[in-house]
Amino acid sequence: MISRIIDDQFKVIQPSFISQEIKRIIHQERIKQGVNRGESCNINYMLKYVIVCLAIVSSVRANIDPQTVEKANRIIGRVYSQEGTTGTCFLISDEGYFVTNSHVVGSSSQVIIRFPDQSEQITAEVVYSLSDHQIHEDLAILKVSPNKIKKRLSGTLLLTPPAQGTEVFSLGFPGAADIYGINNSSEGSSTLTRGVVSSVKGDLVLTDAAINPGNSGGPLFNFDGVIIGVNTAKSAEKGVDNVGIAISASVVAQLLNELGIEYNSQGKASKPKPTIKKEKKNPEQEVKTVPEKSGNRKSLLWIILIIVILLSGVTVVVIINKNR
């Protein structure tokens, strides 16, 4: 009975060759144990069955759906700055807004965008970029006319931090490919690399997916085609290989919110950050108000009245009610 349940669960994910291998092992074990069809097996057999299933399935690497890749290619574009630098960008709004890295556009006021599936190129205005920034602020926003992106697709940002081990892929135009003239062709085809999320460090996502010059500013996708980050750099530390750095999609969302740009998203940010930093008051300047008691107020009025009478030189006899 248990073997049937496990078999039903694995039918969803196992390729045909895995199914055949498992059935072969089951048949051999049944013959060894003399178990008839429909009868339950002992616990040792079940443990062996589960271990084999897990070992085989874990050895199979998931494939990226070609349709997901095709859609992802309709989101990205290659950026050419006025300073001669190149990188990758991605469409984030149907209004014609693209996201890339600030270090890709440099001091340019305009850039050229070319798409992977056509040689046509369009001019984009740089509407936001920081010249002095930290790595998690290395973002720029580009703007083109909406009628020039009718064949494009807007990306979706994942606001929830990705789990460690999440499989990801990157699409972009790495400079290494230019050495062999691959990305200089009229098609301007993109290059795909894949890996997993190594860890999430605050506003940064670390991955072992290859990120090279030319990938900067491009999206880091999960296997559902949702953007989890913006490829920004790779570790330059000595002895550290295969560590790419991407700015978290939640940081991009925060910037778009501040600029009033609409975008598609999934999930919810775990710790929303304030868009405006408020100055803290000096504790010595804070004035605390304490509710006054009615008795204190009456005493103050009596004191004021006595002072006024004494200053006026009038003798007054005050009768105090014993019950007061």
Check if 216 is active-site: yes
Exactly one of 93, 103, 108, 265 is catalytic; name it.
Answer: 103
* Residue 143 CB neighbour total at 10 angstroms: 16
CB 209 within 8 A of CB 170: yes
- Please say whether the dihedral angle defined by the alpha carbons of residues 7, 9, 10 and 16, taken in this order, is positive or negative: positive
Phi-psi region of 84 (alpha: psi -120 to 50; beta: other; left: phi over 0): left
Give residues with Cβ within 8 angstroms of 47, minimum separation 6.
none
* Residue 316 CB neighbour total at 10 angstroms: 9
Exactly one of 81, 102, 138, 190 is catalytic; name it.
Answer: 138
Beta-bridge mates of residue 125: 110, 143
Q: Is 55 helix (H, G, I), strand (E, B) or coil?
A: helix
Check if 203 is active-site: no
Listed in order, strand segments (DSSP E) in the chain are: 76-81, 86-91, 97-100, 110-114, 121-129, 140-143, 156-158, 167-172, 191-201, 204-207, 219-222, 227-234, 244-248, 264-266
Nearest to 264 by CA among 48, 69, 97: 97
Exactly one of 216, 248, 250, 265 is catalytic; name it.
Answer: 216
Counting Cα atoms < 13 Å in the Cβ hemisphere of 140 gives: 31
Check if 138 is active-site: yes
What is the spatial distance between Cα 28 and Cα 263, in angstroms, rounded to a whole number? 56
What burial letters (b/e) apply to 44-54, b meaning 16+ CB within 10 Å? ebeeebeebbe
Distances (CA, A) of 86 to 166, 172, 261, 316: 28, 11, 25, 94
Residues serving a catalytic function are: 103, 138, 216
